[in-house]
């Protein structure tokens, strides 16, 4: 959704990963691009993706996504949502940007964001707290520090990097709405997480895909070098 506003960090790659992992398993997959110039938000998609972007763009994204409550209705009907970084902040209850302005988010996840003292930039790895995911990794680049509401679960516990910047937590999970600070794109670097979201969306366990041990080993080696 709104890659014209929240497209700075290449998070659109998450859509390509989800579609390809479905097609490899014989499912049909269609990627629908929703621009901020569109008049309506399609409400029948199974998965909605929001990427990261600049503070001003985030504010415009809230204005677009709050209009008509289409995303809220889709979530109420069981749609899966993944919000990355600026997307996390937009899906939360409120965020304060670097210029000190506070504004309401979409309120789909109980998480609030305030600016930190300096940007968190670099590799981020976490122990995933969602069933079916192990270590999650990606890169982060954000000023915001996010605090989870009392009943909101984190997506992961920080092993390396900043994440939410509060309580050693990273991201948030509320029902089928998943938020993270992981760019990468996150689902290319963490296919297990892609498969969790897909299994929620299709409503069944997904068949395993062929594994590539050389690729897994290469990823692990690179992470060791960077951590």
Q: Which residues are annotated as a binding site?
A: 119
52 binds ligand GLN (CB under 6 A): yes
C-beta of 21 vs 142, nearer to ligand GLN: 142
Binding mask 69-108 for ligand GLN (x = CB under 6 A): ----------------xx----------------------
Q: Could you tell me the smallest distance in angstroms from the CB atom of residue 39 to ligand GLN?
A: 26
Q: Which residues make up each annotated binding site for substrate? A: 119
Pairwise CA distance, residues 218 & 199, whole Å:
27
Nearest to 135 by CA among 82, 190, 194, 184: 190
C-beta of 95 vs 197, nearer to ligand GLN: 95
3-class DSSP state for residue 80? strand
> What is the side-by-side order of every strand in the sheet holding 47-50?
47-50, 80-84, 177-180, 172-174
Strands 177-180, 80-84: pairing kind: parallel
Other CB atoms within a 10 A radius of the CB of residue 221 amount to: 10
142 binds ligand GLN (CB under 6 A): yes
Q: Which residues bind ligand GLN (CB under 6 A)?
A: 9, 52-55, 58, 85-86, 141-144
**Residue numbers annotated as active site:** 85, 183
């Amino acid at each position: 959704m709104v890659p014209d506003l929240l497209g700075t960090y290449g998070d659109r790659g998450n859509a390509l990963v989800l579609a390809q992992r479905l097609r490899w398993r014989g499912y049909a997959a269609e990627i629908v691009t929703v621009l901020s110039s569109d008049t309506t938000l399609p409400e029948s998609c199974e998965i909605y993706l929001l990427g990261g972007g600049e503070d001003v763009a985030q504010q415009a994204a809230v204005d677009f996504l709050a209009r008509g409550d289409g995303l809220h209705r889709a979530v109420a009907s069981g749609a899966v949502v993944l919000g990355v970084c600026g997307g996390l902040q937009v899906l939360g209850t409120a965020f304060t940007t670097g210029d000190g302005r506070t504004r309401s988010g979409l309120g789909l996840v109980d998480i609030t964001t305030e600016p930190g003292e300096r940007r968190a930039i670099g590799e981020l790895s976490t122990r995933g707290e969602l069933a079916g995911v192990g270590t999650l990794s990606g890169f982060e680049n954000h000023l915001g520090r996010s605090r989870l509401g009392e009943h909101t679960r984190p997506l992961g516990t920080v092993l390396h990097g900043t994440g939410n910047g509060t309580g050693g937590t990273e991201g948030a999970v509320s029902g089928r709405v998943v938020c993270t600070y992981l760019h990468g794109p996150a689902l290319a670097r963490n296919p297990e997480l892609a498969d969790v979201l897909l299994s929620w969306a299709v409503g069944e366990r997904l068949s395993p895909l062929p594994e590539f041990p050389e690729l897994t080993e290469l990823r692990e080696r690179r992470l060791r070098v960077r951590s």
